[in-house]
A = this chain, B = another copy of it.
Amino acid sequence: MKTEEEVEDFILNGHKHYLRHITIDCAIIGYHDQQLKILLVKWKHLNGWGLPGGFIMNEETLNEAANRILMEKTSLSDLFLQQFYTFGDSFFRLSKKDWDKDQRLLIPIPEDNWLLERTISIGYYAVVDFEKVSISPDIFYDEYQWCDIQSIPELLFDHNEMVEKAIQTIRLQIYHQPIGYNLLSEKFTLPEIHVLYETILGKQLDRRNFPKKLMSLGILKKLDEQRSIGPHRSPFLYEFDKENYEKALMEGIALAF
């Protein structure tokens, strides 16, 4: 949605093209250099921060919808988006007053407009290197920020609950989902993946046990290749064994860190 005419058409006629009552919201977790952040967007007419989200089209699968919504709202594409939970307990609704603050709609929003109904939201997450992506927000949003997950402000709707659940899910799935793929170079050293896991899990991991346990999961391959990082310092390189993730999941393998 790029023009004001398109926004007006969405508000007045969107219910013909989108499913009522159901939205998708995206928790995009950013990692870089030992920092974990979350992508927040500022809603123009509500003057508050939240996650990028939108409605599902009549003829779209849920994954197609999640990818389209993220693309439209942030310009991010080709992410490994994973569904994590469906939220429907906040009963938050945008009121007629809230929508009427949006000056782009030249007539008042009708009382029975579809956007004033209760919505259930399906949460999707992805993890990206926030230094490597650029965001261009949709017409609905003023600004965006990568916010440190330690200092998330009060968000719109039930989005604080969503962020918390997304991070909890990533921490559980780190053992059997290829969450690290987009965050490390194709080949990396043990200290690099060690720091990544410590940052995501938000705690220190034993320096000697960590590589052993990770190797026993079978999702890392040690390469016959070293990186020279100084005199007498040339650690071995590793890569992810993508095929083994599925196997590890299927066998119910997970590890005690």
Contact = CB atoms under 8 A, between A and B. Distances in A.
A28 B87 CA distance: 21
Number of this chain's copies in the complex: 2
Contact of A118 (B58, B63, B175, B201): B58
A54 to B, nearest CB: 15
A56 interface: yes
A30 to B, nearest CB: 20
Interface in A52-86: 56, 58-59, 61-63, 83, 85-86
A22 interface: yes
Contact of A120 (B62, B118, B252, B257): B62
A223 interface: no
**Interface bin, chain A:** 35 or more
A20 interface: yes
Interface of A: 19-22, 56, 58-59, 61-63, 83, 85-89, 91, 118, 120, 122, 171-172, 174-176, 201, 216-217, 249, 252-257
